[in-house]
Amino acid sequence: MRRLILELRSGVEAARLTAALAAGDVAAVVLPRDAPNGAELVAAAHAAGAAALVAGEGWPVVFGADGLHLRSPSAKLIAARKGDAMCGAVAADRHQAMLAGEADADYVWFDGTNDLAAACALANWWQALFEVPAVAAGPSDRVSLSALIETRAEFVALVDVFGDDHDEAARVAAADRALREAGEL
């Protein structure tokens, strides 16, 4: 079954993350390295059974998180992980995806924030051919979410769940429902 990943922006309170995590089946959260409450966010993720990854370009992992979310693939950084730390990478094209996969990234993230169609095409290509999980990432609106789900990527990442309206739980619940419905077809 495919699962959700939530990308957090700086300034999200742990209580809001807790509410969002309770609204759906969330596998992981990605938080910024400069989050002023990073340890609280990691604790909230862990309490809900989700992994916590820190976005950044280098080790060590901070806040007691489970791993690193690289903004671009780096074989050197992926290879430098210690123990069972997770390490995934954002790929902007097929070449970058192959670099991440060859370096043993735990996932390859295709970010559709700026070009949803291109990211969905890459995620679809990747998940059909490779064992390393694909993450199709993009906005949580209905049209974008449908496109992300259609990729059949193992994970759907929502990059804009935490808005000023504090309605993240409803957005996560809607995305979770859409994933479940797509899985039943």
Closest of 66, 26, 4, 17 to residue 166, by C-alpha: 17
pLDDT for 100: 96
Question: How confident is the model over 2-11, as a mean pLDDT?
Answer: 95
pLDDT for 184: 61
Q: Are 63 and 38 in contact (CB under 8 A)?
A: yes
pLDDT in tens, 53-88: 999 988 988 999 999 999 999 999 999 998 999 999
Question: How confident is the model over 94-122, as a mean pLDDT?
Answer: 97
pLDDT in tens, 131-155: 999 999 999 999 999 999 999 999 9
pLDDT for 164: 87
pLDDT for 132: 97
pLDDT in tens, 20-49: 999 999 999 999 999 999 999 999 999 999
* Structural domains of the chain sorted by starting position, each given as residue range(s) with its CATH number in brackets: 3-184 (3.20.20.70)
Indicate the burial class of 179 (C-beta count within 10 angstroms; 0-12, 13-18, 19 or more).
buried
The mean predicted confidence, pLDDT, of the chain is: 95
